[in-house]
Amino acid sequence: MSSARPVVPANLLRPELLGLNAYHVPPASGMIKLDAMENPYLLPQALRDEIARLVADAEINRYPDAGAQQLKAAIGQVTNLPPGMEVLLGNGSDEIIQLLALAVARPGAVLLSVEPSFVMYRMIATFVGMKYVGVPLDEDFALDRKAMLDAIQREQPALVFLAYPNNPTGNLFDAAAIKQIIEAAPGLVVVDEAYYAFARDSFIPLLAQYDNLLVMRTFSKLGMAGLRLGFLAGSGAWLEQLEKLRLPYNVGVLPQLVAARLLQHHDVLLAQAERIKQERAKLLAALNAVVGVRTYSSEANFILFRVGKATQVFEGLKRRGVLIKNLNGGHPALTDCLRVTVGAPDENKKFVAALQDTINQLA
Ligand code: PMP
């Protein structure tokens, strides 16, 4: 068949898709992997055996429970939701961001967030055809309250995302400023608590207070990144509409079973998070002792730091077998910034030694 216009991606696909770069996941085999905010600890052997028995008996010939009743009940038990609040489950919280964006993507609809923050807000807004507006944080990575309120007034966003703590900066924004934003917003405000397990505050208790507030969490950072499970908490009035967009079997049999069981051992997961917080303090002190490094304090399981020749430092670390995240060359506010996930004690030590060695060599 001949055609004037050949059937190639550039002729067929939406320009906003062609203009995007896929979310980059670098190969990490054999490396000390401190790039993706994973929990470095395995589960205790007894619990792993328990999971193995559970998986052996799982009916993987059947579709999963589309309503995920057991898992939702387990989430309810560990989350302290205010009365009347419900949850919607996602295949990771990434999927929930997408579902929220799809729900509000009327022509001209705006998704507003802050910059720098989690890159998927912009990416998903773009590929569902929304307008993305990123309001710069101030030089300490705090919310610029006035700029936010002005942008909300001007842009009338259908959806606001605030990561609390923020990625990649690690800080909690001022809660009073977030409340003001929720009150001023003409649409939904989603507080993204991906790092809640390492932070000292949460908006979950405020859900009943604001009709336009939703809180999103993931279990990825709590030791279940491989299961892909996130949830959105809020009132049924919103969630029952969003449920229409959720593909019926988005959370598989195994993630449902395993996560529900692990949440019965929530104390084990929280104890791991506690160890990570202790390691975070030690890692922060060790980084502060490295000449030429400026750190930012963190309420998450990673630390953002600034160092001269950041990309060369990143490459030097990689050559020494340590993979972290290079943020240099992305957002201008992150020039010379690198982000390291808090690992196990020996991983953190090796990272700091490799960093010192790299910096010495570059000097
Ligand atoms: N929100 C924030 C702020 C994140 O940093 C991440 C992961 N990097 C996510 C959401 C997505 O997590 P997941 O899809 O693993 O649930």
CATH number at residue 223: 3.40.640.10
Considering the domain boundaries, does residue 53 fall inside one? no
Q: Report residue 12 CA to chain centroid gap.
A: 32
Indicate which atom in ligand 1 lies nearest the CA of residue 93. 16
1, pLDDT greater than 80: no
Whether 181 and 86 map to the same domain: the answer is yes
Residues 150, 215 share a domain: yes
How far apart are alpha carbons 45 and 128 in whole angstroms?
43
Ligand 1 atom at minimal distance to the Cα of residue 94? 14
Ligand 1 pocket, Cβ-based, cut-off 6 angstroms? 37, 92-94, 118, 163, 167, 192, 194, 218, 220, 230
Q: Over 80: is that where the pLDDT of 318 sits?
A: yes
Instruction: Please name which of 2, 37, 68 lies closest in space to residue 258, comparing C-alpha atoms.
Output: 68
CA of 232 to the centre of ligand 1 (A): 12
Amino acid at 186: P
Ligand 1: residue whose CA is nearest its atom 12: 93
> Are residues 169 and 75 part of one domain?
yes
Task: Indicate if 88 and 205 belong to the same structural domain.
Answer: yes
- Domain shared by 223 and 339, yes or no: no
Protein residue with its CA nearest to atom 6 in ligand 1: 194
**30-67, pLDDT tens digit by residue?**
999 999 999 999 999 999 999 999 999 999 999 999 99
Q: Which domain holds residue 170?
A: 59-265
| Total Cβ atoms within 10 A of residue 179 | 16
Q: pTM of the prediction?
A: 0.97
Question: What's the gap in Å between 349 CA and the centre of ligand 1?
Answer: 26
> Do 147 and 130 reside in the same domain of the chain?
yes
Q: How far is the CA of 156 from the centre of ligand 1 (A)?
A: 25
Report the number of distinct structural domains present in the chain: 2
Whether residue 24 is predicted with pLDDT greater than 90 in this model: the reply is no
Q: Out of 18-22, 51-55, 252-256, 311-315, pick the least confident.
A: 18-22
From 88, 115, 118, give the residue whose CB has the most ligand 1 atoms within 8 Å, as the site to mutate. Answer: 118
Query: If we measure between CA atoms, which residue out of 144, 103, 167 comes closest to residue 298?
Result: 167
CA of 35 from ligand 1 middle (Å) equals: 13
Cis preceding linkage at 82, omega within 30: no
Expressed in angstroms and rounded, the spacing between residue 2 Cα and the centre of ligand 1 is: 45
**Local confidence band at 3 (pLDDT 50, 70, 90 cut-offs):** low
CA 196 to each of CA 150, 171, 191, 255: distance values in angstroms, whole numbers, following the listed order: 28, 12, 11, 20
302: left (phi over 0), alpha (psi -120 to 50) or beta: beta
